[in-house]
Structure formats: C-alpha cells, structure tokens
Structure 1
Amino acid sequence: MTVGKRTSRRAVYEALRRKVLTLELPPGAALSENELAASLGVSRTPIRESLILLVEEGLVQVFPQVGSFVSRVDPARVADAQFLREAVELASLEDLPPALDPDLIDELRQNLAAQKAPGLDVEDFFALDEEFHHGLLRLAGHGNAWATVVSAKGHLDRARRLGLQETAPPDFADQHLRIFDAVLAGNTEAARDAMRGHLRAVFDDVEKIRERLPQLFAAANGSTPVRRNIVVWE
C-alpha cells in the first residue's frame, strides 16, 4: 500500500499501526525503515517518527545493536486493556436511556445482520465488531469514550485477531445478538452478564492461543530477543 509522498505524518503512523494491528506485520517481525518507506512511498523521516510513537504504545521495540521489531503480544497489556474495556462497556450499559434512539437501533440491527453474512473474513468481521461495541456506547451517550478504549487496546486487538482465527465469527455474532436483545428488553442485568461473558470469552481464547503459539507473546522476563533471521526474532 502506498500512502503517498505528500501524505501527512499522521497517515503514515496510522498506516504502520494498522499493519501491526492486523498482523500484516506479525509479532516479532523485523522492521526496516528503508523497506517500510519504499512500501508506503514516503521518506524515512515519517517512518522513523511513526516508529517512535509505536514504541511509546508498546507495539514496537528497539534493541541496540540488534534492530527494531514488532513487539510480541504482551499478556500484561492485554489484561490491562481487557480490564479497561470491560469497565467502560459494562458501566455504559447502566446509562442506557429508557427511550433508545431509533436511528442507532436501526444501525445496530443492520450491523448484526451484516455479521451473519456468508464468507465474511476476519478483518470484515473485526470492523463490524468494533462498530457494534462503539454503537452500544453511543446508545448510552458515551460514544466519545470509545477513542480512549481504542488508544489503549493495541495489544488486545492483536490478541483478538489471533482469537478470531481460532473461533468462527458467527459465535461472536450470536453473543452480540444476546447483548442487543437484552438491551432492547430493558434488562440491564442480562445485558451486562452477556457483555461480560462475551468479552471474557475473547480473553479465554487469547490464553489458548498463547499456550499454542508462545512465540507470538512476550516472555515473562522481558529478555532481549536473539536474532534468528531477517524476518522473525525469538
């Protein structure tokens, strides 16, 4: 994908962040400023600046005399983001108004229908999943809180994508429908229980992935990686 030489630095950062979050640049991948600049059609300067921002987010690590790498998924950061997301989304359900916005309800219905479309790939479902959760926050009047959640969940998003590779999207779509039905029924307790179960099911899937593919996750001791080849470090 070419961003374009006159594109803003923010666009370069967002393009690189998207490559990391979608696993196009997988955990452990070595990063070359020259190669990234060539692939995006920009100079090395915005690439370097974007990598600094990604380091601050914990999505990239730089090791002196070794190189720069996409960070492996950090279980501690996943757990922190999971805690934040659960706290925000469950609290938001408590603030649902007695009369729900009919336009937002229609949007959510259309979203749920799209989640059931045959042949939906992981990225398409992920986008619908994000829209659904954001829509519920908007329904409760807390749509702006979504930006805070998004900024904190880079590691969780990568872990969730790994989980979506293991769990068929229709399973999550059914969980979304149970949350939505409880919201429509005005049953806040049931909606909270369904939401909590849904978010924790994703977290449980992540733990299973961690056991099966430990090389994608950060080591508990945070040790410096050993360079094995030009693509992946362990």
Structure 2
Amino acid sequence: MTRHTRYRGRVTRTNSRRTSRRAVYETLRRKVLTLELPPGAALSENELAASLGVSRTPVRESLILLVEEGLVQVFPQVGSFVSRVDPDKVADAQFLREAVELASLEDLPAELDPELVGELRRNLDQQHRPGLTVEDFFALDEEFHHGLLQLAGHGSAWATVVSAKGHLDRARRLGLQETPPEGFADQHVEIFEAVLSGDVAGARAAMRTHLRAVFDDVEAIRERSPELFASASGAVPVRRNVVVWE
C-alpha cells in the first residue's frame, strides 16, 4: 500500500508539472501572438516566472518550444527576445493556408450540415457587430475558417494550419490595429454565400482574393513599420530593458 501511494504521488506530481508547463507555454504563446509581447521585446526568465507565479523551469521549457516555433530568439550573452515577424514565414503560412482552404472547398458535400451552417451564420452576424475589438474579430475569423473546413470534412486540418501561422497571425493583428475589420467580414459573407449556393468555383475565387488581401495588408504594414519585421542581416538586438507585467 505504501509503495502504491508513493507511486501515485509521483504520477500526480509529474502530471502537475506537465500541466504547469503546458499552461505557461500557452500563456506565453498567446501573449506573443496577440502582441502583448511585441516583436523585439526582451524576455527575462526571472521576470516571467515571477509574473506567472511559477518556477523558472516551466518558463525555460516554454521558451525552448517557442524558439522551435520561431517565435522567440536567443542570442548568447545578450538575452532572449520575441522574434520579429519573419516575412518568409509569413509567406510560407500564407501559401499553406491557401493550399489547404482552397482544396477543402472542392470537397464540400451536396448536403451541408445544417448545424454547422447555422453556427457559421451566427458567426457572420457577430463579425458585423459594432464595437468589436481586434481580438474579438480575430477569434471570430478563426472560427469561421475552421468552420468552413469542418463543412468539407477537414476540420482536423485546422490544427496544422494554426501551428504554422504564428508569424502570419502577428502580422495580421498588426494590420487589424490600423484597418477596420468590416471589409474582411464582408469577404467572409461573399465566400459563405457562394458555398451555400453550391458555387465552388466562386467560393474558391472569393477565398483566394480574401487570403491574398490579408497578405497584401501585411506587406503594407511591413513598409510602414519595418522595425517590427526581421531583416536579412539577422543583427543581434541591443538589450535595453526586460519585460515586466503588472
């Protein structure tokens, strides 16, 4: 009985550590993607651990995962920084999204799931609600595109798309801070109406225009705010301060 209790205790502690690490990783990733931690921001393991109420170990492990995703960079003897938006990774994510989402429209069934159709209608109504914040619209946008994949029977492919578009998501948020989302919401309506009418060619054309409009917007942001984007030189940043949250 004693051995069993100890064994169960070890499992519990191990699961707790994994849960803590996962929570820290998801929190830090969200802060990077939502620009709460902007491109180029300096990161301190001590400050991050104190603000999140955890030890340095899950913070360090989470930063390693974010480095692997290209969202954090570590410069020896200088420090860790939120990576600047990489135009090449933005382009790769844009290519992946277009390939997956256009292909999925070819697999739409003749009879669409009425429950999913109803959810997408409600989503579009919410997108046109006055006073939406950038994050409110971004969440609805994600749900809409995921919903279209689900209609075509490819909902599980969304996880692959999400994992590849961290740099694109940050660039899109930069654009939404300056551009009202109404135009993108109207494009969603155009795509959805084509889907409902069975016009696959029209839906594909509207989706392609929509996704490329987002990419063009990213390029405009890059021209206006080049300091937020990675340069070809890969210069090491100068550490002036660390990130501290209240």
Q: TM-score, normalised by structure 1?
A: 0.94
Alignment partner of 1:195 is 2:207: yes
Q: Is the 8 A contact 2:44 2:242 kept in 1?
A: no
1:213 alignment partner, one of 225, 231, 236 = 225
Q: Distance between the aligned counterparts of 2:91 and 2:166, measured in 1?
A: 12
Q: Distance between the aligned counterparts of 1:86 and 1:231, measured in 2?
A: 37
Deviation at residue 167 of structure 1 after TM alignment: 1.6
The superposition leaves residues 104-129 of structure 1 with CA deviations (integer Å, 9 ceiling, x where unpaired) of 00000000000011110000000000
Alignment partner of 1:10 is 2:37: no
Q: What is the letter of the counterpart of residue 93 of structure 1? A: L
Deviation at residue 226 of structure 1 after TM alignment: 3.1
In structure 2, the partner of 1:230 is 241
Alignment partner of 1:71 is 2:83: yes
Structure with greater Cα Rg: 2
Q: What is the letter of the counterpart of residue 111 of structure 1? A: N
Q: Distance between the aligned counterparts of 1:74 and 1:231, measured in 2?
A: 22
2:39 alignment partner, one of 11, 27, 45 = 27
Q: Tell me, what secondary structure is at the counterpart of 2:161?
A: helix
In structure 2, the partner of 1:84 is 96
1:108 alignment partner, one of 120, 144, 151 = 120
In structure 2, the partner of 1:134 is 146
Q: Tell me, what secondary structure is at the counterpart of 1:8?
A: helix
Q: What is the letter of the counterpart of residue 208 of structure 1? A: A
Higher helix share: 2
Q: Distance between the aligned counterparts of 2:23 and 2:106, measured in 1?
A: 36
State how 1:31-42 maps to structure 2 within 5 Å.
31-42=43-54
Q: Distance between the aligned counterparts of 2:157 and 2:36, measured in 1?
A: 28
Q: Distance between the aligned counterparts of 1:135 and 1:120, measured in 2?
A: 20
Q: Distance between the aligned counterparts of 1:186 and 1:166, measured in 2?
A: 35
* Segment drifting more, 162-171 vs 48-57: 162-171
In structure 1, the partner of 2:5 is none
Q: Distance between the aligned counterparts of 1:36 and 1:113, measured in 2?
A: 38
Q: What is the letter of the counterpart of residue 155 of structure 2? A: G
Q: Distance between the aligned counterparts of 1:128 and 1:207, measured in 2?
A: 23
Q: Distance between the aligned counterparts of 1:29 and 1:224, measured in 2?
A: 13
Structure 1: runs of 5+ lacking an equivalent: none
Alignment partner of 1:184 is 2:203: no
Q: Tell me, what secondary structure is at the counterpart of 2:179?
A: coil
Identity of aligned residues (%): 82
In structure 1, the partner of 2:135 is 123
Q: Distance between the aligned counterparts of 2:141 and 2:112, measured in 1?
A: 20
Alignment partner of 1:158 is 2:166: no
Q: TM-score, normalised by structure 2?
A: 0.90
- Runs of 4+ in structure 1 off by over 6 angstroms are none
Q: Distance between the aligned counterparts of 1:166 and 1:204, measured in 2?
A: 14
Q: Distance between the aligned counterparts of 1:192 and 1:223, measured in 2?
A: 40
Alignment partner of 1:93 is 2:105: yes
Q: Tell me, what secondary structure is at the counterpart of 1:69?
A: strand
